[in-house]
Amino acid sequence: MKQKTTTEKFIYECIDCGKQYNASETIYLCPKCSKENNDLNPPKGVLRIVYNFFNHTEKNILFNDLRKENFLQILPIRSIVSLPRLKVGNTPLYECNELDNNKLPFQLFLKDDSQNPTFSFKDRASALVSAYAKENKLNTLVTASTGNAGSSLAGICAAQKQKAIIMVPEKAPWAKLTQILMYGATIIPVKGTYDDAFELSIKATKEFGWYNRNTAYNPLTIEGKKTVSFEIYDQLNETIPDKIFVPVGDGVIISGIYKGFEDLLNLKIINKIPIIVAVQSEGSDNLIRNLNHKNFKIRKSDTIADSISVDIPRNFNMVKYFIQKYNGEYITVSDQSILKASSILSKNTGLFAEPAAATSFAGLLNYYHHQKLDNKSKNVVLLTGSGLKDLNAVQSMLKIPDSIEPNIGNLKKMFS
């Protein structure tokens, strides 16, 4: 479709019908397609952002120039000053050469986004949404969350002097709820699932005029999450990996990664998109299981990976579009594999990931054990959140030894 003529920095494009809108015409979903939405299927009308900047691209753009200006030309905000002073993004990429004392035949890199200010990948989206709200004088922000997005928005809003209202399912992990409360946000536990909290937050947005951060509802969240793609490209010395393993729930993180690399492709900085592997828990596989089905079928989620436990993956249509367009791959892993992956990761690298984050590493291990990774290939695993977010999840693997009397004889017995 020919891009809509506009003097604005960017336009919105519906992932379903392709209709384009100026930024002044809509904020969240495609007005046309969203009329068809119901409670049994992923929403239609999710928007993606297309920059007017791409119209003027006739030759390669230097990645260096984009980096120097903090990628402002391909972000939907007017000034970097609008972003929080907290250091969001630019998280480390660690190379791992061996596992359990066995040298790996391929290159493995771990992108550790638990080192964001609130210890999760979600800060990338929250920071951008908050900056946009600040520029447009929107002072109250709301989101639904299983914990990470909520604690992220709460922390970012605290830094930005904005009001945050967080709706969570009542069974969300206590550590994440503690973060939300400590940041001073208003927390609203909702009886039911994440999907129930999501729907209530949408109704509240319409009723009170609050600015909504929900993933797969606010298109800016994908723009925030795409920044990890720029960093991976930069940290790999301006090369792209062969494969990137990504944990998947709603499908917004993986869409953001695709979008980031697609922007680089459109700017002729890269000439292909890496293979991106979507990894889901077997206990919450509603996105992957439906990719090749015409009629979407929901299966009740039951997984230890609470951050990616989703009955209705709200960015399903966009993920399907990207996977089909760029030959993406996908795999499900058991909860047992996720916990084992978390343990292997911690003991081999010193990186402690929550179950949702360890899911991507479990996918990598599955590929490794089934010899699906080429020798000397370059592979990235995205670690999206700290293990401190959900300590209860790993309790079944741990046993604290009985205490001993403080004398050297007892220690000798232990180590003899």
CATH architecture of 93-116+226-397: 3-Layer(aba) Sandwich (3.40)
Q: Residue 408 has what pLDDT?
A: 92
Residue 45 pLDDT greater than 90, yes or no: yes
| Distance separating alpha carbons of residues 230 and 241, to the nearest angstrom | 12
List, for residues 325-338, the tens digit of each pLDDT value.
Answer: 999 999 999 999 99
Name residue, tokens 């609050």: 210
Residue 362 pLDDT greater than 70, yes or no: yes
Contact call for residues 168 and 189 (beta carbons, < 8 A): yes
Taking CA 272 as the corner, what is the angle to CA 270 and CA 277, rounded to the nearest 5 degrees? 120
Q: Residue 400 has what pLDDT?
A: 81
Is 123-218 in the same CATH topology as 93-116+226-397?
yes
Band the pLDDT of 59: cuts 50, 70, 90.
Answer: low
Among the listed residues 213, 96, 104, 227, the one whose alpha carbon sits nearest the alpha carbon of residue 166: 213
Q: Which helix (H) or strand (E) holds 409?
A: helix 408-415
Strands 186-190 and 275-281: unpaired
Contact call for residues 168 and 177 (beta carbons, < 8 A): yes
- Beta-carbon-side half-sphere exposure of residue 5 (alpha carbons within 13 Å): 0
Buried b (16+ CB within 10 A) or exposed e, 128-151: bbbbbbbeeebeebbbbbbbbbbb
Cα dist from 350 to 161, 342, 366, whole Å: 35, 11, 21
Report domain extents, the chain: 10-82, 93-116+226-397, 123-218
In this prediction the pTM is 0.93
CATH number of 123-218, picked from 3.90.1150.220, 1.20.1080.10, 3.40.50.1970, 3.40.50.1100: 3.40.50.1100
* Mean of pLDDT values over 221-243: 98
Q: Per the structure block, which two tokens stand in for 279?
A: 């990894």
| Distance separating alpha carbons of residues 241 and 238, to the nearest angstrom | 10
